Amino acid sequence: MIEARGLTKRYGDKLAVDDLSFTVRPGIVTGFLGPNGAGKSTTMRMILGLDAPTAGAATVNGRRYTEHAAPLHEVGTLLEAKAVHTGRSAYHHLLALAATTGISRRRVNEVIDIVGLREVARRRVGGFSLGMGQRLGLALALLGDPTTLVLDEPVNGLDPEGILWIRNLLKALAAEGRTVFVSSHLMSEMALTAEQLIIVGRGRLIADVSVADFIHNSSRQTTRVRSPQAAQLRDLVAGPDVTFADAAAGALEVRGLGSEAIGEIAARHGMTLHELTPVHASLEEAFMDLTRGSVEYHGVTAGELAGAERSAE
Amino acid sequence: MSAATVTALHPSAEHDKATERRRVTQGRVLASEWIKLRSLRSTVYTLLAAIVMTVGAGLLLSAFMASQVAQPDPQHPVQFDPTGASLRGVFLAQLAIGVLGVLLVTGEYSTGMIRATLSAVPTRLPVLWAKAGVFSVVSAVLMTAASFTAFLGGQAILGTHGTTLAATGVARAVIGAGLYLTVVGLLGVGLGFIIRNTAGAIATLFGLLLILPTLAEVLPSSWAKHVVPYLPSNAGQAVMAVQQAPGDPAPWTGFGVFCAYAAATIIAAGILLKRRDA
């Protein structure tokens, strides 16, 4: 169990994390979501005692991380991939960290097998791909058989097979009663892996919801209408619950009214429709709606980029 | 909630026992740093370089001196210190050993490894003690062995113009050479933690050891004679000189001053390591 209370981190005049409070419960995978620069990594580093909070505190299993006598046994962590000396082999990297807490060579070899790095374990980490680096990071996280896992973007750089493997691994670890806290900037990935979502933007808590609720609330529907009489139709369908999103000339994006109702209104007034399409917002779009305004770095073609990212997965 | 969930919320007696068994201790952190030191090719090569420089340069200079005294010029009789000639390689080896001390620390900062290390040992200071401890033992053993090798080889080359370990101050100077190199490396470890950047820490280390004494020469001579002998490298090298020049500190006094510089650096490193974000 992880508890953050009023966690705040200030760098100069910039608030990286702003009064963040949440609880991560055992037995489920909790996703920590937010756009890049939202303060996810800073929050995780504060939980792990690597960065000191400007205000507030975080505890893991009832104690501050730094107060645990055997931290690797309590909390398994994967920070950025390849926080590893590039000149050392994967085996010696794990062996050196295992030694700090008296973990045996047998266990080191065991976790190397769990993450599937046996063949490259004696090679220097400098030559590892990002995916291999992630697997090595996971091996370190599992080394002490911890009750809590804190993983920063573990699926970054993994191939589809690796992503599926990690998804199942995280679910299995949670099913054993462990606390699993995983950050990601990909809503689609978290929807498949996590049960609970903690969503942040610009260092602030935006939502702390179950994935089921998030999906339910975000599955609201838009209807795309194209008509030569779009402007008149807009006046006819307007109502207190109906909103319009931006759309090209001659088209409407209607929210709050189904396609059947719009079609019937159009028919009653004898209007020509060129298109009447129900559009379901994807989870990724719902996530972006939620975090819009809290995205740190806007590209000129942010929408196009996000689209490309989605289709690449 | 399943039984396992409850266990995780309220750590069981079994979990407590396992935690006790897996407690992080200074001894375990020492073992960890020992594995780190020997599992990097760069540290092994740098140590080899320091040994080769100590022995190789010592033998070369001894051979050169041997050839000088073999054909004496009656106008300019050769006056030289046979111990000093055979230990001359130390001045080269300090570059390698200083770099090694720095790299043991900054190698972790530049790769991000330090965050793995400090999350395994969140109280942090045991990492500093362990790095300093492992380095000291390895360096003291290897560098003292190297200085003895350089001395014995050098004296063999010098033959009748050489000296022996039994002569006054010689054994102390030879042991002192190994100790001087070790403390140079410890200064590097301390500066590594303070500066956390390889180039910056190396530049600072050699600025202190090599450039500071030269800069201090511009001081008024009434000051310089009190300051220059107590600058880090000058003070430290007193222990490896068989005969002290006038105005120089006594061998162990000088070495004590050098150790005090290193201790102050390590203490500053400890304070910063504890306070700063990793």
Give A24-73 pLDDT, tens digit per residue. Answer: 999 999 999 998 889 999 999 999 999 999 999 999 999 999 999 999 99
SS3 content of chain A, % helix, strand, coil (to 5): 40, 25, 35
Taking residue B100's Cβ as centre, other Cβ atoms within 10 Å add up to 27
**Contacts of residue A79 in chain B, CB cutoff 8 Å?**
112, 115-116, 119
Q: Which residue of A has its CA nearest to B41?
A: A87
**Contacts of residue A87 in chain B, CB cutoff 8 Å?**
40-42, 107
Distance CA A158, CA A154 (A): 8
Buried b (16+ CB within 10 A) or exposed e, A152-170: bbbbbbbeeebbebbbebb
Mean pLDDT of A142-150: 95
What DSSP element (H or E) covers B181?
helix B170-195
pLDDT at A174 exceeding the cut of 90: yes
Residue B75 corresponds to which tokens in the numbers above? 């106008």
Q: What is the pLDDT of residue A259?
A: 85
Mean pLDDT of B102-116: 96
Region of B180 on the Ramachandran plot (φ > 0 left; ψ -120 to 50 alpha; else beta): alpha
Q: What is the pLDDT of residue A303?
A: 45
Residue A113 corresponds to which tokens in the numbers above? 């097998």
For chain B, give the mean pLDDT: 92
Residue matched to tokens 């073609």: A301
Q: What is the pLDDT of residue B11?
A: 54
A103 touches chain B (CB under 8 A): yes
Contact between residue A206 and residue A200 where contact means Cβ atoms under 8 Å apart: yes
A126 touches chain B (CB under 8 A): no
Residue matched to tokens 């370990």: B165
Mean pLDDT of B198-215: 96
Our CA-based measurement puts residue B178 at a distance from the nearest CA of chain A, in whole angstroms, of 28
Contact between residue B252 and residue B239 where contact means Cβ atoms under 8 Å apart: yes
Q: What is the pLDDT of residue B201?
A: 98
Contact between residue B236 and residue B254 where contact means Cβ atoms under 8 Å apart: yes
* B interface test, pick of A28, A100, A122 with most B CB neighbours within 10 Å: A100
**Contacts of residue B116 in chain A, CB cutoff 8 Å?**
79, 83-84, 93, 97, 140
Q: Which residue of A has its CA nearest to B27?
A: A100
* Residue A50 to residue B119, Cβ atoms within 8 A: yes
Of B6, B111, B278, the CB nearest to A85: B111
- Residue among A56, A63, A74 at smallest CA distance from A205: A56
Mean pLDDT of B180-199: 98
Q: What is the pLDDT of residue A69?
A: 95
Coil/strand/helix, residue A251: strand
Mean pLDDT of A150-160: 91
pLDDT band at B69 (very low <50, low <70, confident <90, very high): confident
* Residue A96 to residue B39, Cβ atoms within 8 A: yes
Q: What is the pLDDT of residue A298?
A: 53
Taking residue A229's Cβ as centre, other Cβ atoms within 10 Å add up to 15
pLDDT at A101 exceeding the cut of 70: yes
**Is B6 or A209 the better-scoring residue by pLDDT?**
A209
Name the CA dihedral angle for B123, B127, B133, B135, rounded to a multiple of 10 degrees: -170
Tens digits of per-residue pLDDT, A249-300? 788 888 878 888 889 999 999 889 999 988 776 777 778 777 776 665 555 4
Q: What is the pLDDT of residue A188?
A: 86
**Is B243 or B103 the better-scoring residue by pLDDT?**
B103
Our CA-based measurement puts residue A297 at a distance from the nearest CA of chain B, in whole angstroms, of 25
Phi, psi dihedral angles at A251 (to 5 degrees): -140, 160
* Residue B28 to residue A99, Cβ atoms within 8 A: yes
Distance CA B199, CA B142 (A): 25
* Residue B22 to residue A179, Cβ atoms within 8 A: no
* Residue B123 to residue A66, Cβ atoms within 8 A: yes
**Contacts of residue A89 in chain B, CB cutoff 8 Å?**
39
Distance CA B183, CA A147 (A): 43
Coil/strand/helix, residue A70: coil
Distance CA A141, CA A73 (A): 9
A54 touches chain B (CB under 8 A): no
- Residue among A45, A29, A11, A7 at smallest CA distance from A205: A7
* A interface test, pick of B119, B123, B134, B273 with most A CB neighbours within 10 Å: B119
Q: Which residues pair with A149 in a beta bridge?
A: A76, A180
Our CA-based measurement puts residue B43 at a distance from the nearest CA of chain A, in whole angstroms, of 10
Q: What is the pLDDT of residue B20?
A: 87
Residue A240 corresponds to which tokens in the numbers above? 């207190």
pTM of this prediction exceeds 0.90: no
**Is B71 or A65 the better-scoring residue by pLDDT?**
A65
- Residue among B192, B205, B195 at smallest CA distance from B261: B205
Our CA-based measurement puts residue B110 at a distance from the nearest CA of chain A, in whole angstroms, of 8
Taking residue A127's Cβ as centre, other Cβ atoms within 10 Å add up to 9
Q: What is the pLDDT of residue A308?
A: 47
Distance CA B169, CA B149 (A): 17
Mean pLDDT of B86-105: 97
Distance CA A3, CA A196 (A): 15
Of A50, A68, A99, the CB nearest to B277: A50
Tens digits of per-residue pLDDT, A178-190? 999 999 988 888 9
* Residue B32 to residue A96, Cβ atoms within 8 A: yes
Of B5, B41, B119, the CB nearest to A71: B119
* Residue B116 to residue A79, Cβ atoms within 8 A: yes
Contact between residue A272 and residue A229 where contact means Cβ atoms under 8 Å apart: yes
**Is A249 or A203 the better-scoring residue by pLDDT?**
A203
pLDDT band at B225 (very low <50, low <70, confident <90, very high): confident
Our CA-based measurement puts residue B139 at a distance from the nearest CA of chain A, in whole angstroms, of 20
Our CA-based measurement puts residue B180 at a distance from the nearest CA of chain A, in whole angstroms, of 28
Residue matched to tokens 């113009």: B161
A154 touches chain B (CB under 8 A): no
Distance CA A9, CA A46 (A): 9
Residue B128 corresponds to which tokens in the numbers above? 């500093």
Distance CA B180, CA B237 (A): 7
* Residue A85 to residue B15, Cβ atoms within 8 A: no
* Residue A71 to residue B24, Cβ atoms within 8 A: yes
Q: What is the pLDDT of residue A296?
A: 54
Q: Count CB pairs under 8 A between chains A and B.
A: 144
* B interface test, pick of A59, A85, A143 with most B CB neighbours within 10 Å: A85
Q: What is the pLDDT of residue A10?
A: 95
Q: What is the pLDDT of residue A305?
A: 47
Of B2, B6, B19, the CB nearest to A70: B19
Of A74, A79, A99, the CB nearest to B115: A79
- Residue among A165, A115, A168, A121 at smallest CA distance from A143: A115
* Residue A80 to residue B4, Cβ atoms within 8 A: no
pLDDT at B212 exceeding the cut of 90: yes
pLDDT band at B7 (very low <50, low <70, confident <90, very high): very low
Of A74, A83, A101, the CB nearest to B116: A83
pLDDT at A313 exceeding the cut of 50: no
Q: What is the pLDDT of residue A300?
A: 47
Q: What is the pLDDT of residue A81?
A: 61
* Residue B277 to residue A45, Cβ atoms within 8 A: yes
Contact between residue B146 and residue B54 where contact means Cβ atoms under 8 Å apart: yes
Mean pLDDT of B18-27: 92
Distance CA A169, CA B92 (A): 53
pLDDT at A194 exceeding the cut of 70: yes
* Residue A83 to residue B113, Cβ atoms within 8 A: yes
For chain A, give the mean pLDDT: 88
- Determine which of A75-89, A294-308, B19-33, B242-256 has the lowest per-residue pLDDT on average: A294-308
pLDDT at B159 exceeding the cut of 60: yes
Tens digits of per-residue pLDDT, A78-93? 987 668 999 999 999 9
pLDDT band at B41 (very low <50, low <70, confident <90, very high): very high
Rounded percentage of chain A residues whose pLDDT exceeds 70:
91
* Residue A96 to residue B118, Cβ atoms within 8 A: no
A102 touches chain B (CB under 8 A): yes
pLDDT band at A74 (very low <50, low <70, confident <90, very high): very high
A172 touches chain B (CB under 8 A): no
What DSSP element (H or E) covers A285?
helix A283-291
